[in-house]
Amino acid sequence: MIGGRPTDAGEHPIETRIGQVLGIGTLIAVILLAVGSLALLAAGRSPLDPAPALDLGRLADDLARVQPAALLWLGLLLVVMTPAARVVAALVGYLGGGERGMAVVAVLILVVIAAGVAAGTIGA
Amino acid sequence: MAVGLLMLGGGLVAGVFGSLLGLGGGILIVPLLNLGFGLPLREAVGVSLICVIMTSGASAAVYLERDVANLRLGMLLELFTASGAVLGGAVAFLIDPRYLAALFAILLAYVAWTMLRSAARTSTAPTSMPTGDDGPPGALDPSGPSDAPGSPGEVTAVALAPVAPAAHDHPDGGFVDRLSRPGYHVRRLRLGAAIGVVAGILSALLGIGGGIVKVPMMNLLMDVPLRVATATSNLMVGITASTSAIVYLLRGGIDPFVAGPTAVGVFLGATLGSRTAHRVDLRLLRWLFVAVLLYTAFQMAQRAIAP
């Protein structure tokens, strides 16, 4: 199904590293969302029931108690943070390779993401 | 239990359809959740963004490892699509949902029209795709509905032809020169950046990947080959959608109970679709899908007029 050919990791180290970050991040997020969904259904709750709001202060405790909502929130946080993690991976790679232009682009993308956090927080 | 399984199943079907037809999940998930489960449109958009990020993340990983996506170009453009996404994410909470419904109805009608046009063009072509050598026609048509996060884990459309060896090393070239590769030279960057902002706004407002704008933009305006444009657009979807998803998430626009089963369903469906694409007669599927799109557009338009 897949055309093209896998490239040598040493040939394109940044692309390979970013691909790994995306692949692993997505896989863990899917697992968390799947386990959280199963836990939700097993508890006899409907997805249309009111869900608790995200509370980062309580997330660790709720995860320790295997609360479905906590598993789902962690999965969702991982989903939205994985693309940002790949920008950080790219930034590190470009800085290491001396590509200042692309490093600046990566920093600016992170600034825009931070603006998204600000826009969400201010409006919340 | 039943509702959860229906959401999982709905996501699965949306993922299969999206993967087979080269569409992202957003265009299907939003109407499914809004019209099918009665979720407010804004929350449906938030959940759709999550689905879009997940499907694009897995397939972008493959595109990158196979060096099909142009990382440098993608990162430069996503600076602008993400900026648009912040703007769109903020605006989405200010405007009347009826306008969003109207905008979505227009989008659905447009995609139906492009699919009809594409179907008419390829009506004489073989309809079963040759194994491994072709992909969803929608994803290969620059003017067609290529919202395409495509398929997690497997890449159906763009990584099929050999790509010219990447030139990551232009030691004497400038920043812009490094965006190009042997076989193509990137042009009209400023125009691409401006259109990228629009793509970001649309993505945030409607919960779509925005490939429907970005792929034609890169291919037709910036002279980027289609397979590279599709893969690069897919890569950009992650940052674009996650930036607006952050806004939605922090403003309470994403319901975790709905997002969980739906996103898992879309992910599984997209994986399944990518593995069965070569065995499916897309002609009938495409006509069926056009009918679904037009019906959904009508429903959305009705909701815009009389919510």
pLDDT tens, N- to C-terminus, chain B (307 residues): 788 899 999 999 888 887 777 676 678 899 999 999 999 999 999 999 999 998 888 888 888 888 888 999 999 999 999 999 999 999 999 999 899 999 999 998 998 888 888 777 766 554 443 333 333 333 434 444 445 444 454 444 444 444 444 444 444 467 778 888 888 899 999 999 999 999 999 999 999 888 888 988 999 899 999 889 988 998 999 999 999 999 999 999 999 999 999 999 999 998 888 777 677 777 777 888 888 889 889 988 988 887 6
Regarding pTM above 0.90, the answer is no
Residue A43 in contact with partner chain B when CB distance is under 8 A: no
Average pLDDT for A30-45:
94
Average pLDDT for A72-90:
96
Test mutation, B243, B254, B276, chain A, max A CBs within 10 A: B243
Half-sphere exposure of A42 (CA within 13 A, CB side): 10
Q: Where are the alpha helices (DSSP H) in chain B?
A: 2-21, 26-31, 41-65, 71-92, 97-121, 137-140, 189-206, 211-216, 226-250, 256-276, 282-305
**What per-residue confidence (pLDDT) applies to A8?**
54
State whether residue B264 is helix, strand or coil. Answer: helix
Test mutation, B95, B247, B275, chain A, max A CBs within 10 A: B247
Q: What is the dihedral of CA B90, B92, B95, B100, to 10 degrees?
A: 160
**What per-residue confidence (pLDDT) applies to B144?**
47
CB pairs A-B closer than 8 Å: 235
* Distance (Å) of CA B206 to CA A106, B8, B26, B161, B216: 26, 21, 8, 32, 19
DSSP 8-state class, residue B33: I
Answer for the pair A1, B270: CB distance below 8 angstroms, yes or no.
Answer: no
Test mutation, A12, A55, A80, chain B, max B CBs within 10 A: A80
Of A29, A44, A54, the CB nearest to B249: A54
Answer for the pair B297, B28: CB distance below 8 angstroms, yes or no.
Answer: no
CB contact under 8 A, A4 and B60: no
CA distance B232 to B226: 10
Per-residue pLDDT reduced to its tens digit, A41-59: 999 888 999 999 998 899 9
DSSP 8-state class, residue B281: B
CA distance B211 to B237: 8
Average pLDDT for A19-44:
93
Q: What is the dihedral of CA A5, A8, A11, A14, to 10 degrees?
A: 90
Tokens of B126: 């073989």
Residue B101 in contact with partner chain A when CB distance is under 8 A: no
CA distance B120 to B112: 12
CB contact under 8 A, B61 and A48: no
Nearest to A1 by CA among B282, B66, B12: B66
Residue B62 in contact with partner chain A when CB distance is under 8 A: yes
Chain B: residue nearest A72 by CA? B256
